[in-house]
Amino acid sequence: MHAAIQAEALVKRYGDVTALDGLTVDVPPGTVFGLLGPNGAGKSTAVKVLTTLTRPDSGTATVAGHDALAEPALVRRSIGVVTQRAGTDPQATGRENLVLAGRLQGLSGTEARSRADALLARFGLSDAAGRVVRTYSGGMARKLDVAMGLVHHPPVLFLDEPTTGLDPAARAGMWTEIATLARDEGTTVLLTTHYLEEADQLAERVAIVDRGRVVATGTPDALKSDLRGDTVVVGLGPDDDPARATSVLRDAGAGEVTTEGRALRARVDDGAQAVPALLAALERNGVGVSAITVARPSLDDVYLRLTGRTLVGAVEAEVAA
């Protein structure tokens, strides 16, 4: 079975900045595949290359069986693209946007109107079809964006950070629609995201991207299963030294201790047994603890193991900057 999307050793530089540094992915048809990483990791640049919006400095890419460099027109006919920014006209109605998108994709007027009505019904937007898009909620507008990308029945759909800015209810609704596309219609979906839960719930396979490279690929469960034991997160008191607390935890048998602000993350074999011993060691050494939690390995722990920092921390650092 040929891959629906295949990228091999993609390199893309913008001046002194290397956005892609040998990125390689292989996406089976009819699956949801996630590119997981913080902004600046290279996810959006990879999508631009795969959707023919930019050319790589080196490497190869095929999408829906077509060479993205030699056959860009054929690739464009085979894909739908939903970018981070809205692609709709806010002054036009939802139906008008979809009909126009269909016409631009070569559908006849009758076909475009029929397809618009079908998509409006599918995404629960029929009642809002005659309203101008600027009156839509964030969730409604994002559903319309996805519908626009599907108007010509593309076998491959690219979703670049599809749920950024949505409230939890709207995000969950979008997850349902994305999962249905692959399961019921056989659409191959490549989504970029920095939401751990989104990748964990939606993607059948995940590629973790860091500084323009794929550092790990696999199912979310397989990636997490490589990390044995539990994660213990210790919140420190306002006057306690993270470096001293790190030393205490390591001496008490915790492994892979990392610091993020006033919180320490550590790996242990058995969280239930380890927590009392860790708390006792911290207390003996005069380290105050404001909170302590235990959890099974997450994709954030996988990211931490591979890159030396958590994805949540990387995203928060970008926001602060």
pLDDT in tens, 173-226: 888 888 888 888 889 999 998 888 888 889 999 999 999 999 999 999 888 887
* Local confidence band at 316 (pLDDT 50, 70, 90 cut-offs): low
Structure tokens given for 28: 């089976």
Domain of 52 in residue numbering reads as 5-224
The CATH code of the domain that includes 267 is: 3.30.70.980
**Do residue 195 and residue 89 come from a single domain?**
yes
pLDDT at 225: 81
Span 232-280, pLDDT tens digits: 999 998 888 889 999 999 999 888 888 878 888 888 888 888 899 999 9
Indicate which CATH number applies to the domain containing 166: 3.40.50.300
Indicate if 69 and 188 belong to the same structural domain: yes
The answer, yes or no, to whether residue 317 has pLDDT greater than 60, is no
The whole-number pLDDT of residue 315 equals 55
Nearest to 175 by CA among 204, 198, 159: 198
169, 219: one domain? yes
Domain-terminating residue out of 179, 206, 224: 224
pLDDT band of residue 28 (cuts 50, 70, 90) is: very high
Position 319 scores a pLDDT of 42
Q: Are residues 136 and 75 in the same domain?
A: yes
Question: Are 127 and 191 in the same domain?
Answer: yes
Q: Is residue 218 domain-shared with residue 283, that is, in the same domain?
A: no
The predicted structure's pLDDT at residue 1: 56
Query: Is the pLDDT at 321 greater than 50, yes or no?
Result: no
- Tens of pLDDT, residue by residue over 47-60, are 999 999 999 999 99
pLDDT digits (tens, 9 = 90+) for 156-172: 999 998 888 788 888 88
If one compares 86 and 146, the residue with the highest pLDDT of the two is 146
Distances in whole angstroms, Cα of residue 111 to Cα of each of 76, 80, 96, 156: 20, 18, 13, 20
The CA distance from 161 to 156, in Å, is 16
Average per-residue pLDDT in the chain?
89
Assessment of whether the complete model's pTM goes beyond 0.85: no
Both 163 and 146 in one domain: the answer is: yes
What is the C-alpha separation between 83 and 93, in angstroms, rounded? Answer: 20
Q: Are residues 72 and 107 in the same domain?
A: yes
Stretch among 13-22, 254-263, 308-317 having the lowest mean pLDDT: 308-317
Q: Which two tokens stand for residue 300?
A: 């954030």
Three state DSSP letters for 171-234: HHHHHHHHHHHHHHHCCEEEEEECCHHHHHHHCCEEEEEECCEEEEEECHHHHHHCCCCEEEEE
Rounded mean pLDDT, 292-310: 81
- Looking at residue 320, its pLDDT comes to 41
Domain end (from 179, 204, 224): 224
What percent of the chain is modeled with pLDDT above 70? 97
